[in-house]
């Protein structure tokens, strides 16, 4: 089990994260927060790239910093700004990553072929990566993260910059990888995690705001989310969430403590929760 | 495994290969110009010089004290500084006596063009080598140290099992790659040299006999140890290689410490400029221990490559100063690498 005990991170006078307590066992943990909320800071602490100012991060009771290489052997990490060698082929790049992950030489070729197959890059395995699309590069990224068959897969905004088709493909891939490991995924795109996350972690004002299953998180807004086609007629305090076009009408989704007139109550989704929780943090 | 991949990265780097090629081309151009300007052997290979040289004994009755006194007069040295210079040359007297007993005489080859070609090989080309391979090693080290950071792969490599220890592997790779690239520059340039200049070198003769006077000076070429010409060439190439490794060490320390190739390169340039400026200034008087100690730095050693294995003039008070300098700065720069590595271990990667 991976756990964070009262973890804080401070940069000079700026407190990025404050007293975060979390536990990860198995499944997809979605770290959902707006940009600048501290997701990447938390992810980088889990990847041992930065260190907590206070508190500790433990793997089965041992400090991950003290575990050093033994801990890093358990993780696979895909950073937000995934760098790669432009003049290498995916296969060459993965061979190098296999070397720094200390994979046994006899396993490397087979493992690389398996992963390139899994991420759908088999046909371009020997092509230079300089002409790859963003989605293809992200798939190389997930392949390098999976090389050592990690117990903990850490993905920082893995779908940023991908087109909708690639995002769906990526989502399915992550879902298939989460069967027997911890997948920690940070994102501010709600649709990325709505269907695959077993637990959603919300960070607000530098602190842990909520950690629960998507269903339970959404339940917190039960009876508070409404839709109407006459938003101008609303005479109650409300928070506008989203709008969509339907049968030539603009349907507005809003949050309110009470219903009003012809507004109908709807089932809250994660996007409603996100917009509701971070309503003060528009940037 | 990691070592092999890292070495491949450096040795196949277009930047380093281009620089290596440029060094060879620069040497080729220089040698071609020298070849075209060289007087024909018939004009300069004067038989009377050869015969006169055969009768001349270089060291018989030669007094090291006379060298000391000429330096003391030239630099107007007084007190302890003058005493330091006298003491150094007193220590050199037994070496001269030993060479005199061996009846060191100029070689028959030593006249006219052959002498010029010796100066070209041991005086100029060797100096170029040592400076070129030093610069090449510095750039190799900088590239190696910041390679992952430049390509944005630092975070995935540091989060791998090897982690930040990859920097130690990169250090060994840097030293290996520097050696390989240096050998390419030196090997190719020597091949060109020997192809262009057809002359016999008395490889087994004592170097003090072959160079009966130090380059640009009137005193004999007195080496602390007895070296044949071949040994002198190998030893000089060895010191050049050592200097290249020093550059690699300081470049690697700067690259690891600063994490910016420009800042690291700037820091190295500043350091070497400081070495030179202080050595040129009057802050450290000739004959003082401080001046001598300062002269152990790689920049001074480069600039005075013609004095390696010799007395080192009045600025240098110690025998075998080139090896002393290499050892001292190896320890110093290796400590800088160690310090930079430990900074990296604690550094946060954003």
Q: Is A240 found in the same domain as A124?
A: no
Mean pLDDT of chain B: 87
The pLDDT score that the predictor gives to residue A281 is: 58
User: In the numeric block, which tokens belong to residue A198?
Assistant: 């077993």
pLDDT tens digit sequence for B13-52? 999 999 999 999 999 999 999 888 776 554 444 555 555 5
For residue B105, pLDDT beyond 70: no
In a domain, A282, yes or no: no
Structure tokens at A46: 């889990």
Judge if A245 and A211 occupy the same domain: no
Residue A275 domain flag: no
Q: Do A44 and B350 touch (CB under 8 A)?
A: yes
How distant is the Cα of A271 from the closest Cα of chain B, in angstroms? Answer: 29
pLDDT digits (tens, 9 = 90+) for A45-54: 999 999 999 9
- Per the structure, the complete domain to which residue A174 belongs is given by 2-217
Q: Residue A90: is its pLDDT beyond 80?
A: yes
Question: Count of H helices and E strands in chain B?
Answer: 16, 0
Enumerate residues 6+ apart whose C-beta is below 8 A from B185: B20, B23, B24, B27, B129, B132, B133, B136
Asked if residue B328 lies in contact with residue B335, where contact means CB atoms within 8 angstroms, the answer is no
Q: Are residues A121 and A245 in the same domain?
A: no
Nearest partner of A276 among A226, A236, A232, A211, judged by Cα: A226
What percent of chain A has pLDDT above 70?
99
Assess whether pLDDT exceeds 90 at residue B212: no
Same domain for A241 and A107? no
Q: Across the interface, do A96 and B5 touch by the CB < 8 Å criterion?
A: yes
Looking from the CA of A230 toward its CB, the CA atoms found within 13 Å total 9
Distances (CA, A) of B29 to A268, B15, B34, B117: 78, 21, 9, 16
**Separation between Cα atoms, residue A131 and residue A128, nearest integer Å:** 7
Encoded tokens for B254: 């700067």
Residue B306's pLDDT is 86
Whether B158 has its CB under 8 Å from any CB of chain A: the answer is yes
CA A218, A222, A228, A234 dihedral sign is: negative
Q: Are residues A61 and A10 in the same domain?
A: yes
Which pairing describes strands A239-246 and A75-78: parallel, antiparallel, or unpaired?
A: unpaired
ipTM of the complex: 0.91
Mean pLDDT across B232-253? 95
**At B310, phi and psi to the nearest 5?**
-105, -165
Terminal-to-terminal C-alpha distance of chain A:
36
A85, A172: one domain: yes
- The pLDDT of residue A24 is 95
Read off the DSSP letter of residue A57: E
Look at strands A75-78 and A152-156 and give their pairing.
parallel
The count of structural domains within chain A is 2
Nearest to B155 among A49, A73, A99 (CB): A49
- The proportion of chain A whose per-residue pLDDT surpasses 90, expressed as a percent, equals 65
- Domain positions in chain B: 2-54+109-346
- What's the gap in Å between the CA of A168 and the closest CA on chain B? 24
B151 touches chain A (CB under 8 A): yes
Q: Are A142 and A60 contained in the same domain?
A: yes
**pLDDT at position B53 over 80:** no
Among the partner residues A47, A100, A154, nearest to B2 by beta-carbon distance: A100
Are A239 and A124 found together in one domain? no
- CA pair distance B156, A77, nearest whole angstrom: 6
Q: What is the pLDDT of residues B183-196, one digit of tens each?
A: 999 999 999 998 98
d(CA B314, CA B325): 16
A126 and A243 inside one domain: no
Whole-number pLDDT of residue B322: 96
| CATH label of the domain that carries residue A194 | 3.40.50.300
Residue A65 sits at the chain B interface (C-beta within 8 Å): no
Residue A76 shares a structural domain with residue A18: yes
* A60 and A191 in a common domain: yes
B108 pLDDT band, cuts 50/70/90, is very low
- Residue A278 domain-assigned? no
Residues A261 and A142 in one domain: no
Last residue of a domain, one of A202, A217, A232: A217
Characterize the bridge pairing of strands A249-255 and A239-246.
Answer: antiparallel
Which range has the worst mean pLDDT, A16-30, A133-147, A161-175, B257-271? Answer: A161-175
Residue A272 lies in a domain: no
pLDDT: which is higher, A110 or A191: A110
Report the alpha-carbon distance of residue A180 to residue A182 in Å, rounded: 7
Note the pLDDT of residue A283. 40
**Distance in angstroms (rounded) separating the CA atoms of residues A111 and A158:** 22
A72 touches chain B (CB under 8 A): yes
Chain A, chain B: beta-carbon pairs less than 8 Å apart: 79
DSSP secondary structure letter of residue B281: S
Paired strand residues for A254: A226, A240
The DSSP secondary-structure symbol of B228 reads B
């Amino acid at each position: 089990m991976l756990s964070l005990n009262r973890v804080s991170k401070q940069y000079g006078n700026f407190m990025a994260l404050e007293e975060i307590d979390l536990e990860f066992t198995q499944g997809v943990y979605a770290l959902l927060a707006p940009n600048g909320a501290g997701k990447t800071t938390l992810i980088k602490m889990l990847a041992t790239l930065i260190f907590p100012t206070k508190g500790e991060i433990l793997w089965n009771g041992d400090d991950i910093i003290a575990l050093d290489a033994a801990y890093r052997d358990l993780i696979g990490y895909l950073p937000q700004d995934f760098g790669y060698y432009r003049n290498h082929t995916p296969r060459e790049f993965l061979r190098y990553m296999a070397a720094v992950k200390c994979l046994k030489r006899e396993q490397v070729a087979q493992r690389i072929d398996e992963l390139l197959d899994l991420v759908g890059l088999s046909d371009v395995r020997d092509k230079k990566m300089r002409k790859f699309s963003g989605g293809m590069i992200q798939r190389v990224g997930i392949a390098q993260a999976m090389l050592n068959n990690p117990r903990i897969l850490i993905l920082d905004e893995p779908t940023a910059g991908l087109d909708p088709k690639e995002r769906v493909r990526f989502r399915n891939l992550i879902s298939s990888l989460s069967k027997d490991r911890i997948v920690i995924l940070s994102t501010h795109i709600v649709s990325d995690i709505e269907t695959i996350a077993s637990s959603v972690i919300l960070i607000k004002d530098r602190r842990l705001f909520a950690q629960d299953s998507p269903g339970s998180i959404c339940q917190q807004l039960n009876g508070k989310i409404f839709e109407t086609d006459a938003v101008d007629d609303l005479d109650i305090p409300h928070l506008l969430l989203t709008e969509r076009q339907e049968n030539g009408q603009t349907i507005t989704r809003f949050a309110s403590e009470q219903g009003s007139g012809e507004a109908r109550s709807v089932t809250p989704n994660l996007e409603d929760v996100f917009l509701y929780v971070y309503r003060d943090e528009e940037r | 495994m990691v070592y092999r991949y890292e070495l491949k990265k450096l040795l196949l780097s277009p930047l380093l290969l281009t620089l290596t090629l440029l060094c060879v081309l620069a040497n080729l151009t220089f040698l071609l110009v020298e070849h075209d300007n060289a007087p024909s052997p018939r004009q300069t290979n004067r038989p009377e010089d050869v015969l006169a040289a055969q009768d001349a004994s270089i060291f018989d009755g030669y007094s090291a004290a006379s060298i000391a006194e000429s330096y003391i007069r030239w630099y107007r040295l007084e007190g302890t500084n003058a005493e330091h210079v006298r003491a150094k040359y007193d220590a050199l007297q037994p070496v001269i006596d030993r060479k005199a007993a061996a009846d060191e005489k100029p070689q028959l080859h030593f006249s006219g063009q052959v002498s010029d070609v010796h100066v070209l090989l041991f005086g100029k080309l060797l100096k170029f080598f040592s400076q070129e391979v030093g610069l090449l090693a510095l750039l190799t080290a900088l590239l190696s140290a910041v390679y992952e950071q430049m390509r944005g792969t630092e975070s995935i490599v540091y989060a791998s099992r090897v982690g930040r220890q990859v920097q130690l592997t990169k250090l060994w790779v840097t030293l290996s790659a520097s050696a390989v690239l240096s050998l390419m520059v030196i090997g190719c340039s020597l091949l060109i040299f020997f192809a262009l200049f057809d002359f016999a070198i008395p490889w087994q003769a004592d170097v003090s006999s072959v160079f009966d006077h130090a380059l640009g000076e009137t005193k004999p070429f007195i080496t602390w140890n007895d070296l044949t010409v071949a040994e002198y060439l190998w030893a000089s190439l060895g010191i050049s290689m050592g200097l290249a490794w020093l550059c690699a060490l300081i470049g690697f320390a700067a690259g690891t410490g600063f994490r910016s190739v420009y800042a690291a390169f700037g820091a190295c340039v500043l350091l070497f400029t400081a070495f030179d400026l202080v050595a040129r200034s009057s802050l450290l008087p000739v004959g003082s221990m401080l001046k001598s100690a300062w002269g152990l730095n790689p920049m001074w050693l480069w600039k005075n490559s013609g004095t390696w294995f010799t007395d080192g003039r009045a600025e240098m008070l110690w025998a075998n100063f080139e090896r002393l300098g290499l050892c001292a700065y190896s320890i110093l720069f290796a400590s800088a690498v160690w310090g930079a590595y430990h900074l990296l271990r604690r550094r946060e990667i954003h």
